[in-house]
C-alpha cells in the first residue's frame, strides 16, 4: 500500500459517528495527536490502522478509495454540465479533487442541483397545465408541484439501496419464523400465522375486479389478497404488511430521517421501505448472501430455491451491501419499451443522468426482441469503466384474456472486475475488453464522439455543424 492520505474521509467518518478526535483515538488504540495528523494529511493511512478502522466501525476498505467516489463524481459532473447554472468549463481533475477532499460539500452541491431541477421541472409543468386548463376543469392545487417518485428514487439511491436497521430487523424475524429457502408455501404459512396469531389479522383471498392486488384495513385488521398472485407474490404482500406491524419503528425512523417535501413522497417511501422489509424477510441476508456466492449469482437458480420471481431476486441482489458481508455491488434497473425507467437502484458508481434519456446501445433494450431470455453485455462507459450487464424481460399481472399486462426489461450490472464471481462471465474474455460495447449515461452528457446513435447534442461543448458536410454522428 503506497502513501494514502485520507484526512477528509476520516473526519467524515468521525463526524458521522459523533466522535471527538480523542474518542476516535481511544477506539483505535492510537494517540490523539496521531489521529490529528492523519486528519490533516500530515501522516498517511497505514494498513494496520486501516484494519482497525474497518473492524471497529464496520466500513469497507473502499471507503478510503477514490474508486468509491465514482458515483458522486458523476453526479457532480452532471451539475457542472448543466449550462443553465454553470456556464464555465470545469476540468475533471478539479471535480475529482473536490469530491475526494470535500465530499460533504460535493453532496450539498448535488442536492441543491437536484432541488433546483425539480423546481424547474415542476414550474414548467405548472405553466403547461395552467395554459391547458378550462374554467370547468381546474387542476388540483398541488398536482403539478408533486414528484414523489423522484424523491423516493433519490432516497434509495443515496443509501446505495441498503437499509441496515430494516434489513437486520427482517432477518431477526425470519429467524424467529424459521424461514428457509426451498419451500415458499411454508414461508407463506409462517407469515400468515404470525399475522393471525400475534396481530389479530384476518386474511382472505378474493378475485379482484379493479386491479387491486392486496388491501389492508388497519381499523378492522382485514387483509385481502388477490387470487391472481402466486404463492411467492402473496407471501411478499403479507410480509410487507407484517413489516409495518413488527418493525414499524425501524421503517418509520428510516423514512422520517429523509425529511420528504410532501405527504405523497412520505407515503410512497413508506411503501418502498416496507417492500424492502418484505424482500429481506423472505430472502434473509446471511442465507441469501451465502446462496448467491455459492451459486455464483445465478438469478434463475436463486428464484427456484426461494420461490420468488426474477425481478425480486435481482432487486435483492442489489441490496447486498452490509458492512463486512458485502455481495457484488450491483446496479438494478427496470425499463419499459418506451425507455421509461420505473426503477433504478445502485450500489455501484454507475450513474443515471437526468438529461436526455439512457443509451440505446445498452442491451437492456435489446431484450425486448428476445423475451424471457437472459442476454449479456460487456459495456464500457466514457470514463473507461467496464461493466457486465445481465438483462431479461419479465411480465406482470396479465390475468384475463385481452388485458395488456406489463412487460419490463430488468437489467443487473456490475463492474467488470467483479464479473468472474458470476456464472454469467463464463465464455466471456473479461481480460480483453476491446470488444466491449461503448455506451453512455445519456446523450446530453455523453462525451463520446462519432456515435451513430446520438439522439441529442452534448451539453459539454458547442455544436460544430458544417452545412456542406455529414458524418456518422448527427451532431
Q: How many domains does the chain have?
A: 3
Domain check: are 419 and 282 in the same one? no
**Contact criterion met (CB below 8 Å) for 454 and 443:** yes
- Per-residue pLDDT reduced to its tens digit, 56-86: 776 655 566 655 566 677 778 778 877 777 7
CATH no. for residue 303? Answer: 1.10.10.2910
Q: Could you give the CA distance from residue 426 to residue 296 in angstroms, rounded to a whole number?
A: 11
Q: Please determine, for residue 292, whether its predicted confidence score (pLDDT) is greater than 50.
A: yes
What digits encode the pLDDT tens for the residues 199-228?
A: 999 999 887 667 788 999 999 999 999 888
* 312 and 352 housed in the same domain: no
Residue ending a domain, choose from 64, 88, 109? 64
Q: Determine the pLDDT at residue 165.
A: 94
Task: Specify the DSSP element, H or E, that contains 446.
Answer: none
Contacts for 305 with CB less than 8 Å, ≥ 6 apart: 181, 182, 291
Average pLDDT of the segment spanning 468-475: 77
DSSP string across 146-163: --HHHHHHHHHHHTTT--
Residue 3 pLDDT: 66
With H, G, I as helix, E, B as strand and everything else as coil, classify residue 40.
coil
pLDDT at 347 (0 to 100)? 66
Same domain as 343, residue 278 = no
The CATH number covering residue 351 comes to 3.30.450
Residues 94-106: pLDDT tens digits? 887 788 778 888 8
Write down the H helix ranges in 297-451: 299-306, 310-317, 363-366
C-alpha cell at 377: 453485455
**CA 245 to mean position of chain CA atoms:** 25
pLDDT confidence of residue 142: 43
Asked if residue 111 belongs to a domain, the reply is: no
223 shares its domain with 269 = yes
End-of-domain residue from the set 290, 325, 360: 325
Same structural domain, 279 and 332: no
Percentages (nearest 5) of helix, strand, coil residues in the chain: 45, 15, 40
Alpha helices in 200-284 (DSSP H): 231-246, 248-256, 263-282
Query: Is 175 inside any structural domain?
Result: yes
383 vs 316: which has the higher pLDDT: 316
Residue 449 structural domain: 328-475
In a shared domain, residues 301 and 380: no
Amino acid at each position: 500500500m503506497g502513501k494514502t492520505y485520507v484526512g477528509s474521509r476520516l473526519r467524515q467518518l468521525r463526524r458521522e459517528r459523533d466522535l471527538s478526535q480523542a474518542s476516535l483515538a481511544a477506539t483505535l488504540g492510537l494517540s490523539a495527536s496521531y489521529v490529528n495528523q492523519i486528519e490533516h494529511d500530515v501522516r498517511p493511512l497505514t494498513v494496520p490502522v486501516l484494519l482497525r478502522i474497518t473492524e471497529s466501525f464496520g466500513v469497507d476498505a473502499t471507503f478510503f478509495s477514490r474508486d468509491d467516489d465514482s458515483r458522486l463524481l458523476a453526479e457532480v459532473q452532471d451539475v457542472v454540465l448543466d449550462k443553465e447554472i454553470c456556464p464555465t468549463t470545469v476540468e475533471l481533475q478539479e471535480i475529482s479533487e473536490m469530491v475526494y477532499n470535500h465530499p460533504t460539500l460535493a453532496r450539498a452541491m448535488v442536492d441543491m442541483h437536484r432541488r433546483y431541477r425539480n423546481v424547474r421541472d415542476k414550474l414548467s409543468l405548472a405553466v403547461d397545465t395552467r395554459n391547458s386548463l378550462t374554467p370547468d376543469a381546474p387542476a388540483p392545487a398541488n398536482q403539478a408541484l408533486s414528484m414523489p417518485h423522484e424523491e423516493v428514487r433519490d432516497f434509495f439511491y443515496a443509501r446505495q439501496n441498503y437499509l441496515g436497521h430494516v434489513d437486520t430487523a427482517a432477518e431477526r424475524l425470519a429467524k424467529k419464523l424459521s424461514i428457509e429457502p426451498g419451500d415458499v408455501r411454508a414461508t407463506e404459512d409462517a407469515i400468515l400465522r404470525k399475522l393471525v396469531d400475534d396481530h389479530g389479522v384476518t386474511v382472505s383471498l378474493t378475485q379482484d375486479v379493479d386491479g387491486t392486488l392486496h388491501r389492508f384495513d388497519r381499523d378492522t385488521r382485514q387483509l385481502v389478497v388477490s387470487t391472481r398472485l402466486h404463492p411467492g407474490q402473496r407471501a411478499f404482500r403479507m410480509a410487507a404488511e407484517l413489516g409495518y406491524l413488527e418493525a414499524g419503528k425501524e421503517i418509520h425512523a428510516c423514512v422520517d430521517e429523509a425529511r420528504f417535501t410532501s405527504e405523497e413522497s412520505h407515503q410512497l417511501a413508506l411503501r418502498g421501505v416496507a417492500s424492502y422489509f418484505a424482500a429481506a424477510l423472505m430472502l434473509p441476508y446471511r442465507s441469501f448472501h451465502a446462496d448467491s456466492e455459492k451459486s455464483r449469482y445465478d438469478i434463475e437458480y436463486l428464484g427456484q430455491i426461494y420461490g420468488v420471481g426474477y425481478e425480486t431476486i435481482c432487486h435483492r441482489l442489489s441490496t447486498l451491501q452490509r458492512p463486512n458481508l458485502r455481495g457484488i455491488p450491483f446496479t438494478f434497473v427496470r425499463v419499459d419499451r418506451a425507455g421509461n425507467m420505473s426503477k433504478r437502484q445502485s450500489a455501484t458508481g454507475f450513474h443515471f443522468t437526468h438529461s436526455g434519456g439512457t443509451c440505446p446501445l445498452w442491451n437492456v433494450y435489446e431484450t425486448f426482441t428476445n423475451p424471457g431470455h437472459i442476454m449479456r453485455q460487456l459495456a464500457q462507459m466514457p470514463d473507461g469503466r467496464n461493466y457486465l450487464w445481465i438483462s431479461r424481460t419479465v411480465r406482470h399481472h396479465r390475468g384475463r384474456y385481452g388485458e395488456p399486462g406489463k412487460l419490463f426489461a430488468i437489467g443487473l450490472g456490475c463492474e467488470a472486475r467483479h464479473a468472474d464471481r458470476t456464472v454469467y462471465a463464463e465464455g466471456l474474455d473479461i481480460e480483453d475488453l476491446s470488444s466491449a460495447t461503448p455506451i453512455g449515461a445519456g446523450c446530453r452528457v455523453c462525451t463520446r464522439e462519432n456515435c451513430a446513435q446520438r439522439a441529442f447534442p452534448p451539453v459539454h461543448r458547442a455544436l460544430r455543424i458544417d452545412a456542406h458536410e455529414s458524418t456518422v454522428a448527427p451532431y
